[in-house]
A and B are shown apart, each in its own frame.
Chain A
């Protein structure tokens, strides 16, 4: 039985993230403004701007007041300003976010669902050649880091056979619209999604398979067989439905993995999402962006986990949380 994560846990995690974000630049040697904005940015600033920022962030004040200012700014949606992109951090991130959501969302759904189906089929045929082959195959697949898979797919389908485009989310300057636009997006999306999905398939597969093996031994499976139900109904409605439950609880954690995996995959395919943004920011040492991304991603994952935790009782009638 997984221990129930309650609100306090998430609160602690949230505070940790904020603190980390806050403390890191201020713990670096040297001028805090440099640490927050980075060398290059400072060169571009005027002394007045610098003074303004010092005041805004209360950099000459004691630490706890600084944190107050920081938190306040955050609350107002102020994530800082990126000098590399010459725009507010928030706007830059929001501009890239949709692509990442598309990538992560599609991959997460595909890998989880496909993993569940394969896990059900594998567990149903436990010990057979099909099962053992799938098990060995998926465990091996699991060993390939997502960026390696991405690179292999890119080289195979992009470079060598030229079926799919090599980079980006859209064909630039194409001026497409409607169905043609959709098709273009999908063409660009295919390989990155494939890489991410394949890399994270094994998680849901293994868990579903294991649970399936246990479920098949339960008395209610015999009852269901006695009812003369078809194989399909037995596999999915009876066994499958029960095997899915642990998968749902783990989906929150997997979301975190897929999100970080997207980071690498976007890099490989130069897919213009938040992950690629991070890479660019790392190269340019654009700390505001890095911090902004970190904050957004970390908190999104927390929220996703929280929501999934809340929805679990709806799926398993035996469970009810105190809150």
Chain B
């Protein structure tokens, strides 16, 4: 019933909405999600034709293009067919009239009800939203934030609009009140179509059937809410969810590098995107259908970086790796969890080409990798368990970090040195001459592992395979290394295959977990789903055996 095509809104030179395409079915609730300044409110205001700037495109409401209507026609539609509950702010209600008067007003002015009827209906709506009866004659400046929000909501419903636009309807409420009011919103007449503009993912998840993510004036992802939230396909959506504190996700919070800009051309997210390619800078991606949802990305959404198909490696009759099907997406961390001897390290080494598989193959960006040349190692690197062993005691820090560059013959010596120094900075190690000349036996465990990580990063790989990287380190050092890995992911868009026996650690750094037992992957899925609702009994026992501070009894691991 609402169809928006190529909506462009600008205030002078500032382009706020840069081509929005949306469709709303009657009775559904769509959430427009975006951070501040992305244009959510402008979108709502444009539908009501209350925007001061230049508006182009078309907004069809029940077949009529709203942008072509005259002022008086639009005036009749406002509030009666399309209503808006504004964002709760100071002075959003007229200070010289009481709450009841202002709520009654639109019914009377549109000729829908007489004064008495209007008063009754207004009272009914105010009560519905929990606004106390004895406050009906209060003035706006006497209301608390929560009370004012309720008034705004009640006021929006007075004329039984077909389309209700809610701008941050719950943001000014505390958590407990939010639940109450949120429920009330859900219960509203099912025939009422709702458009909810919010930055809050919890609100979107509870109120909306579908969700559209707004960034840089464009919709970059649009699909069923629960699916988008659990399996985001656009790098921005994924980053947004990772940055949002909530009780569902277990991974530590991560930010998004850079700041929001509105570039004149190209994808608005490209400067912060970690899988951007050349075309992303020049051409704006369109919103297209892709596996049940719409995405605006030149690469079709988050790409699969590495996958294995039926990968098998046997040592004699022992199948160390048994028909393993795994995939790792760009910018995500997959934790491979299993006990000693489950085949984790063998799998890692097979992927790296240190073992030849007996069956199946490894695919890098959908291209099968047979012979691993320099190009492969430029994209996939590994950090080993014991830095004391993986770092040669003959090489100084500088030499060790530069080694991959030397082997690959990248740039001049000076460029390689600069790169090495830069990467040492990234892993938060000193970049002074003194340190660069040190040898591994002069360094602590944590410092050595950082050097190993720096060495792995120096070729700017896309995938980092970390095999029990903190096994030989103290707990406090381990924490720092894990945080370092998360930061590197945030800054560089690194994908990681994090191999560990420690489920508790895996939980904090991974997006997905794969459980390996006797060479097979017995369970695999989103980290929060695996942790909250493991299906396999082995997985369950792994979880209950994982480090915990409270249960005082050990549990056993079944095989």
Contact = CB atoms under 8 A, between A and B. Distances in A.
Interface of A: 218-220, 222-230, 233, 238, 241-242, 245, 315-318
A229 B105 contact: yes
A222 B85 CA distance: 11
12 contacts: A219-B89, A219-B91, A220-B93, A222-B50, A223-B86, A223-B92, A226-B79, A226-B84, A228-B79, A241-B97, A315-B96, A317-B139
B434 interface: no
A115 to B, nearest CB: 20
Nearest to A222: B50
B141 interface: yes
Chain B CB within 10 A, most for which of A223, A242, A315? A223
Interface of B: 48, 50, 74-80, 83-84, 86, 89-97, 105-106, 109-110, 139, 141
B158 to A, nearest CB: 9
Given A228-B75, A318-B139, A223 B105 contact: no
B151 to A, nearest CB: 11
A212 to B, nearest CB: 14
B48 A226 contact: yes
A297 to B, nearest CB: 34
A238 B139 contact: no
Contacts of A316: 95-96
Contacts of B95: 220, 242, 316-318
A245 B96 CA distance: 10
A228 B78 contact: yes
Contacts of A219: 86, 89-92
B148 to A, nearest CB: 11
Nearest to B74: A228
B78 A226 contact: yes
Contacts of B80: 228
Nearest to B76: A228
Contacts of B90: 219
Given A226-B50, A229-B105, A245-B96, 16 more contacts: A219-B86, A219-B90, A220-B93, A220-B94, A223-B86, A223-B93, A225-B78, A226-B78, A227-B105, A228-B77, A228-B109, A230-B109, A241-B94, A241-B96, A316-B95, A317-B95
Contacts of B75: 228-230
B96 A226 contact: no
A295 B445 CA distance: 97
A220 B91 contact: yes
Q: Which 9 A-B pairs have the closest CB atoms?
A: A228-B78, A317-B139, A228-B79, A220-B94, A219-B92, A227-B106, A227-B79, A219-B91, A228-B75
A120 to B, nearest CB: 15
Residues of A contacting B: mostly: helix
Nearest to B93: A220
Contacts of A224: 94
Contacts of A238: 94
Nearest to B94: A220
Contacts of B77: 228
Contacts of B105: 227, 229
A229 B106 contact: yes
B141 A226 contact: no
A225 B50 contact: yes
Contacts of B139: 317-318
B91 to A, nearest CB: 5
A242 B109 contact: no
Most buried by A among B76, B96, B109: B96
Nearest to B106: A227
A229 B109 contact: yes
Interface-centre pick from B76, B77, B84, B95 (highest chain A CB count, 10 A): B95
Contacts of A223: 86, 92-94
B428 to A, nearest CB: 47
A138 B431 CA distance: 75
Contacts of B50: 222, 225-226
A27 B94 CA distance: 57
Contacts of A220: 91-95
A147 B260 CA distance: 66
A257 B112 CA distance: 47
A108 B183 CA distance: 56
A317 B96 CA distance: 6
Contacts of B94: 220, 223-224, 238, 241-242
A315 B86 CA distance: 26
Contact of A233 (B48, B83, B109): B109
Contact of A242 (B74, B96, B141): B96
Contact of A318 (B89, B106, B141): B141
A26 to B, nearest CB: 51
Nearest to B101: A237
B49 to A, nearest CB: 10
Contact of B86 (A226, A229, A241): A226
Contacts of A222: 50, 86
Interface centre among A220, A228, A229 (most CB of B within 10 A): A228
A226 B83 contact: yes
A242 B90 CA distance: 16
B79 A218 contact: no
B44 to A, nearest CB: 10
A238 B76 CA distance: 18
Contacts of A229: 75, 105-106, 109
A224 B77 CA distance: 14
A317 B101 CA distance: 14
Contacts of A227: 78-79, 105-106, 109
B72 to A, nearest CB: 9
A230 B111 CA distance: 12
Nearest to B89: A219
Contacts of B91: 218-220
A201 B110 CA distance: 35
Contacts of B93: 220, 223
B110 A228 contact: yes
Contacts of B48: 226
Given A222-B86, A317-B141, A318-B139, A228 B106 contact: yes
A65 to B, nearest CB: 53
B116 to A, nearest CB: 20
Nearest to B90: A219
Contacts of A245: 96
Nearest to B48: A226
Contacts of A233: 109
A219 to B, nearest CB: 4
A312 to B, nearest CB: 12
Nearest to A239: B94
Contacts of A242: 94-96
B32 to A, nearest CB: 17
Contacts of B96: 241-242, 245, 315-317
B105 to A, nearest CB: 7
A229 B97 CA distance: 15
A219 B86 CA distance: 10
A218 B90 CA distance: 9
* Residue of B79, B92, B94 with most partner-chain A CB within 10 A: B94
B40 to A, nearest CB: 16
A242 B83 CA distance: 24
B320 to A, nearest CB: 67
